[in-house]
Amino acid sequence: MKKHWVARLGVLGFALSFLLGSFAATPVNAASDSGTFKVGMEAGYAPFNWTQTTSANNAVKIQGSQEYANGYDVQIARKVAKALHKKVVVVKTSWDGLPPALTSGKIDAIIAGMSPTPDRRKTIDFSNPYYISNLTMVVRKDSKYAKAKSIADFKGAKITAQLSTYHYQAINQIKGVVKEPAMNDFPAMRVALESGTIDGYVSEVPEGITAERANPNLMYIHFAKGQGFKTDASDTNLAIGLRKNDPNKAKINELLATISSKERAQLMNEAVDNQPSTESNGNWFIAIMKQYGPMLLRGTGMTLLISLVGTIVGFIIGLLVGIIRTTPKPKKLGQRGLRAVINWLLSLYIEVFRGTPMIVQAAVLYYGA
């Protein structure tokens, strides 16, 4: 009976911590109240955003990292932050994690090549468009699809696109296509295309240009009017994601209105020119290691450090549990009370933290903290 009460109290405490974390992450206490403008992006979607090792070309340092973010989105973020009289901070976040990070207050805005689709508008708000793009198909230069003139020419082809994007849904417009599982990012799709796992992938034109520059064996298809994908303005328009009723929305729209089409085109051209190149006359693996090797080493070191610390802490907790549970009950009232408190905390750890999936704990700590 006692164990049941301990478990219930533990679950209650866990729920309270989640609720308190949620309240702490509301827009009232969000990062926008400080002197920083925290922008969420993947930092892996060139030429819109990417990760680099230096601050060259007005790059912005990524929060909690030694790397920097750059690209079209980053330069737009710098302009917005300047208009709001704040310092821009890039928070590197996975694509699926961007909306939750925004609504929980981890970031102030999403500037990551995101389209203001009706589904997304249910949970977050959007600014006016800051870029308008069209869909294309990236293929190998030596494939039979390199001479394609319309999407109908991809009948029987193995095609994919990025996960949780309208690009993936657009594949359904191709009759007889072999729709492959969606992938997380464009670098993964380029590797799959190079290895022959897929015949092509759907992307926006800037990514097509990027793919050509990154790999001389790839190209993107120039579809004539009426021969490409049918899209809606809510798909091709890219806008800044904001929380509902964000007081800065009007200021942001005013700033975007001052950026002419010519200036936007210039920013995109600069982003395409400045993006890191993985082209190499030798082994592609060596080229990637030269560019991302330092990041890989730092990530490996951090993983080993966390594993070591976790092992030591786990050993100490396990040792403490064993000692407390096996020692006889003390006779003094104060010692018995202290032992009871420690025993309760250990039971809480066993029943709640050991019984709750780590991914759930991580989500609560990250989005609710």
Is residue 41 assigned to a domain? yes
pTM of this structure:
0.67
Is residue 197 assigned to a domain? yes
| Statement to judge: residues 38 and 127 lie in one domain | yes
Last residue of a domain, one of 214, 230, 246: 230
pLDDT, tens digit, 9 for 90 and up, residues 188-236: 999 999 999 999 999 999 999 989 888 899 999 999 989 999 998 888 9
Is residue 287 assigned to a domain? no
| Statement to judge: residues 94 and 112 lie in one domain | yes
pLDDT, tens digit, 9 for 90 and up, residues 302-338: 899 999 998 998 888 888 778 877 888 887 888 888 8
| Statement to judge: residues 124 and 177 lie in one domain | no
Mean pLDDT of 45-49: 91
The answer to whether residue 6 scores a pLDDT higher than 70 is no
Residue 47 is part of a domain; what is its CATH number? 3.40.190.10
The answer to whether 163 touches 202, Cβ cutoff 8 Å, is: no
Number of domains in the chain: 3
Q: Cite the DSSP H helix spans in 25-163.
A: 72-83, 98-103, 118-121
| Statement to judge: residues 79 and 210 lie in one domain | no
| Statement to judge: residues 80 and 218 lie in one domain | no
202: domain range? Answer: 135-230
Phi-psi region of 27 (alpha: psi -120 to 50; beta: other; left: phi over 0): alpha
Query: Cα–Cα distance between 142 and 140 in angstroms, integer?
Result: 5
pLDDT, tens digit, 9 for 90 and up, residues 110-152: 999 999 999 999 999 999 999 998 999 999 999 999 999 999 9
| Statement to judge: residues 270 and 211 lie in one domain | no
Tokens found for residue 13: 């405490």
Mean pLDDT of 80-95: 96
**pLDDT attached to residue 133:** 86
The answer to whether 50 touches 71, Cβ cutoff 8 Å, is: yes
Q: Which of 12, 9, 20, 13 is nearest to 367 (CA)?
A: 20
Mean pLDDT score of the chain: 86
| Statement to judge: residues 160 and 209 lie in one domain | yes
